[in-house]
Amino acid sequence: MRSVVVTGPRSLGVETIPDPTPGPGQLVLRVGACGICGSDLHAHQLGLLPRGSVMGHEFSGEVMESAHGWKAGQRACALPALSCGTCERCLGGLGAFCTHGMKGIGLGQAPGAYAEYVAVSAHHMVRLPAGVDEQHGALVEPLAVGLHAVNVAALRSAQNVLVLGAGPIGLATLVWARHLGARSVIVSEKSPGRRAMAAALGASAVVDPADASLLGVLQRLAPDGVDVVFEAVGLPGLIASALQTVKFRGRVVVVGVCMQQDSFLPFAGIAKEASLHFVLAYEKRDFEYTVDMLEQGRIAPAPMITDVVGLDGVAAAFDALEHPTTQSKVMVVP
27-60: pLDDT as tens digits: 999 999 999 998 899 888 888 899 999 999 999 9
Q: Which domain CATH number covers 269?
A: 3.40.50.720
316 vs 214, more confident = 316
User: Is position 192 within any domain?
Assistant: yes
Domain count, the chain: 2
Encode pLDDT of 55-98 as tens digits.
Answer: 999 999 999 999 999 999 999 999 999 999 999 999 999 999 99
Buried b (16+ CB within 10 A) or exposed e, 80-110: bbbbbbebebbeebbbbbbeeebbbbbbbbb
Q: Do 320 and 270 sit in the same domain of this protein?
A: no
- Biggest CA–CA distance in the chain, Å, is 59
Q: Do 160 and 269 share a domain, yes or no? A: yes
Q: Decide if 307 is inside a domain.
A: yes
* Interval 253-292: pLDDT, tens: 999 988 889 999 999 999 999 999 999 999 999 999 999 9
Task: Give the three-class secondary structure for 67.
Answer: strand
Structural domain contains residue 116: yes
Calculate the average pLDDT of the chain. Answer: 95
Distant-in-sequence, close-in-space partners of 184: CB < 8 Å, separation ≥ 6:
160, 161, 204, 205, 221, 222
If asked whether residues 85 and 159 sit together in one domain, one would say: no
Residue 224: is its pLDDT beyond 90?
A: no
CB neighbours of 69 closer than 8 A, spacing ≥ 6? Answer: 122
Instruction: Say yes or no: 309 and 255 in one domain.
Output: no
What is the domain extent for residue 8? 2-127+301-332
Asked if residue 179 is part of any domain, the answer here is: yes
User: Is the pLDDT reported for residue 122 higher than 90?
Assistant: yes
For residues 69 and 38, membership in a common domain is answered with yes
Residue 178 has pLDDT above 90, yes or no: yes
What CATH number is attached to the domain comprising 14? 3.90.180.10
Q: pLDDT value at position 212?
A: 78
Task: Identify whether 136 is part of a domain.
Answer: no
Within a domain: 293:
no
Burial status of residue 73 (CB atoms within 10 A of its CB: 0-12, 13-18, 19 or more): exposed
Q: Would residue 138 count as lying in a domain?
A: no
pTM of the predicted structure, to 2 decimals: 0.95
Which pLDDT belongs to residue 42?
86
Cα separation, 210 vs 200, in Å, equals 21
Tell me: do 235 and 154 sit in the same domain: yes
Residue 133 falls inside a structural domain: no
- CA proximity to 39, closest of 103, 128, 112, 107: 107
